[in-house]
Structure 1
Amino acid sequence: MTNAAKFRELVKTGKPILMPGAYDPVSAKLTEAAGFDAIYLTGQGLASQFGFTDAGLVTLTEQVERAKYIVNSVHIPVICDADTGYGGILNVMRTVREFEAIGVAGIHIEDQVMPKKCGSMSNRQVIPTEEMIHMIQAAIEARQDPDFFICVRTDAIDCEGLDSAIERVKRYEAAGADCIMLMQGHGNDLEDFKRFNDVLTVPKWGVITETNHWVRHTPLWSAQELYEKCGFTIFNYPLALLYASAKQVKDTLDVIKREGTTQNWLDHQLSFQEFTTLMGLPEVYETERKYGRY
């Protein structure tokens, strides 16, 4: 069964799908080891690996190259942030084919203008609805595997208001989107998101905020709340792993600078054996034994 088919089967259950945002093979392997059923490749997390903020600076080829290593490091489906599709109609079609070719289970594309920004940043703008519909139709035409999952994200709630966003997603669904992702707007509440449940029949994807300092200052709703009260079934946590890792690195650096040793900090680290096991060292030894290396 392909990764795309695996993800489709998860979606068909109608149960909540929680996808932490991995940004490299280590975070992906940890996510799989923790028992999650799918992984989200976060755009901001990937941009950070190049030393960038998430402002449309990562190219398609860079995103695909990193995604390939993550997909190959795990056995569960990976869904990737594909930004705006990296250009016009032909770019979107290439984007679908490139991600599909490396075994990604699906992507999401968004209706922001280029260069785009992270959904938690201000000063975002969206393209006309008709233009986005053409993007969706081109993406669907480009995929070879009908199971390849194409989610469409709208940032229109902040840019144009709730009513406009609702009208947009109705048309995105009609154009063939497999799923709709909603970026929360400033001041929205759960009652607002119930309205999307009334007009959409495709699965709804909620972005779970990991910090109360996002520019929109939205509440830190749980997946369970959005599932039970608003009918959302797919959830990503795009920045939780990245921010937690950055905090841990910062704290470890403070210890090294202050104490000159990590002797009193070992409980905050994986051991050598834990880390090398995670990364596949036992399998390396087994293969070497199999072929008489030692």
Structure 2
Amino acid sequence: MIISPVSPQEKRKNLRQALNSGKLLQFPGAYSPMVAMVIEQQGFEGVYVSGAVMSNDLGLPDIGMTTLTEVGQRASQIARVTSLPAIMDADTGFGETMSVARTIKELEYLGIAGCHLEDQINPKRCGHLDNKQLVDRDVMCQKVRAASDAKTDENFLLIARTDARGVEGLDKAIDRAKAYVDAGADMIFPEAMKDEREFEAFREALDVPLLANMTEFGKSRLFTTTELENLGYNLVIYPVTTQRLAMKAVEDGLSTIRKEGTQESLLDNMQTRKRLYEVLDYENYNEYDQSLYNFTL
């Protein structure tokens, strides 16, 4: 109850072991702590906290306007309610090299199991949009090295994301990824791959674990888990899926209320009070509360 009994250190260790299992790990995005609880109840292996989703939730575009404090605290709220490891989007590290080191230490302290840093300049753009700009490869290597050195838990998963495919081409993107591994990255996240051949090229070139981004309405086809496993990928994120599902339902529901003057016709599409209480483990809170006040004078 309240906070998962599984410690952040255990979650990080469990994630490292799972990455060595040969099984593709599925990390749906959670836009709130309760969504993270449902992700665990549905049997997924982990939780992803998207920078774009947190920006969206604040009514901001995903262009690097959020701060370490904002995203770190929200990611911690999401991570602490589940026994699953949570990895998060740390954008460009919230500053230059020294700030990147601070970012890693803060995220470790907040209970996050890992994060990814990207090689765009700030202000950044969504990874599946055009006209992105990259920092120099050596600059990104300095950030990755600083992040690696800042870790106090060796199992904290440091993921380097490269957006170079759409800017410099596939070969340069792979060269960057190799340099990031040499600088200390534990995993590589190649963003906005166009087809199966490009996903495969990264697997052939690198020996470290690879992350696939299956975001909707982007440049990559939505591969199945079987396809990604066959390509040798280790982890897949669905970053904005739950927020998109929820917001479509919210928009449609509000439109219905506006037109019909009541939510009566929407009840079958709603999570019931009973199901809400099941997700939150409401009964155990009641039992705990009663156990504290069962004495007599």
TM-score bracket for the superposition, by shorter chain length: over 0.9
Query: Given that residues 3 and 77 in structure 1 are in contact (C-alpha distance below 8 angstroms), is that contact kept between their aligned partners in structure 2?
Result: yes
- 1: CA distance, partners of 2:235 / 2:294: 46
Give the TM-score of the pair, scaled to structure 2.
0.93
- 1: CA distance, partners of 2:35 / 2:66: 20
Q: Deviations over 1:171-201 (max 9, x none)?
A: 111222110001124xx32112211111100
Of residues 117, 121, 126, the one that matches 1:118 is 126
Residue of structure 2 in register with 1:268 after alignment: 269
- 2: CA distance, partners of 1:293 / 1:22: 38
Whether 1:183 and 2:191 are equivalent positions in the alignment is yes
Q: Deviations over 1:118-157 (max 9, x none)?
A: 2122221111111111111100100100000001000000
Give the TM-score of the pair, scaled to structure 1.
0.94
Query: Given that residues 151 and 178 in structure 1 are in contact (C-alpha distance below 8 angstroms), is that contact kept between their aligned partners in structure 2?
Result: yes
Indicate the larger mover: 30-39 or 284-293.
284-293
Residue of structure 1 in register with 2:285 after alignment: 284
Whether 1:256 and 2:257 are equivalent positions in the alignment is yes
Q: Where in structure 1 are there 5+ consecutive unaligned residues?
A: none
Of residues 207, 210, 213, the one that matches 1:201 is 207
Q: Where in structure 2 are there 5+ consecutive unaligned residues?
A: 1-8
Runs of 4+ aligned structure 1 residues displaced above 3 Å come to none
Q: Deviations over 1:86-125 (max 9, x none)?
A: 1111100000000000111111111110111221222211
Whether 1:7 and 2:15 are equivalent positions in the alignment is yes
Whether 1:224 and 2:230 are equivalent positions in the alignment is no
Residue of structure 1 in register with 2:245 after alignment: 244
Give 2:44's aligned amino acid: F
Secondary structure of the corresponding residue to residue 244 of structure 1: helix
- 2: CA distance, partners of 1:251 / 1:59: 32
1:43-122 pair list within 5 angstroms: 43-122=51-130
Secondary structure of the corresponding residue to residue 180 of structure 1: strand
Query: Given that residues 24 and 228 in structure 2 are in contact (C-alpha distance below 8 angstroms), is that contact kept between their aligned partners in structure 1?
Result: no
Inter-CA distance 36–50: structure 2 relative to 1 (3 Å threshold): same
Residue of structure 2 in register with 1:161 after alignment: 169
- 2: CA distance, partners of 1:219 / 1:68: 31
Secondary structure of the corresponding residue to residue 254 of structure 1: helix
Query: Given that residues 208 and 223 in structure 1 are in contact (C-alpha distance below 8 angstroms), is that contact kept between their aligned partners in structure 2?
Result: no
- 1: CA distance, partners of 2:15 / 2:258: 45
Indicate the larger mover: 19-28 or 92-101.
19-28
Residue of structure 2 in register with 1:173 after alignment: 181
Indicate the larger mover: 272-281 or 191-200.
272-281
Give 1:150's aligned amino acid: L
- 2: CA distance, partners of 1:164 / 1:246: 37
How far residue 286 of structure 1 moved from its aligned partner, in angstroms, is: 1.4
- 1: CA distance, partners of 2:73 / 2:261: 37
How far residue 77 of structure 1 moved from its aligned partner, in angstroms, is: 0.6
Residue of structure 1 in register with 2:198 after alignment: 192
RMSD: 1.4
Indicate the larger mover: 270-279 or 84-93.
270-279
Secondary structure of the corresponding residue to residue 2 of structure 1: helix
How far residue 293 of structure 1 moved from its aligned partner, in angstroms, is: 6.7
Give 1:193's aligned amino acid: F
Query: Given that residues 190 and 226 in structure 1 are in contact (C-alpha distance below 8 angstroms), is that contact kept between their aligned partners in structure 2?
Result: no
Give 2:132's aligned amino acid: R
- 1: CA distance, partners of 2:256 / 2:34: 23
Q: Deviations over 1:33-52 (max 9, x none)?
A: 11111000011111112111
Task: Among all aligned residue pairs of Structure 1 and Structure 2, give the percentage whose two residues are the same amino acid.
Answer: 34
Query: Given that residues 208 and 222 in structure 1 are in contact (C-alpha distance below 8 angstroms), is that contact kept between their aligned partners in structure 2?
Result: no
- 1: CA distance, partners of 2:258 / 2:187: 48
Secondary structure of the corresponding residue to residue 29 of structure 2: strand
How far residue 223 of structure 1 moved from its aligned partner, in angstroms, is: 3.1
Query: Given that residues 28 and 47 in structure 2 are in contact (C-alpha distance below 8 angstroms), is that contact kept between their aligned partners in structure 1?
Result: yes
Secondary structure of the corresponding residue to residue 270 of structure 1: coil
Give 1:210's aligned amino acid: E
Matched residues, number: 287
Of residues 31, 37, 53, the one that matches 1:29 is 37
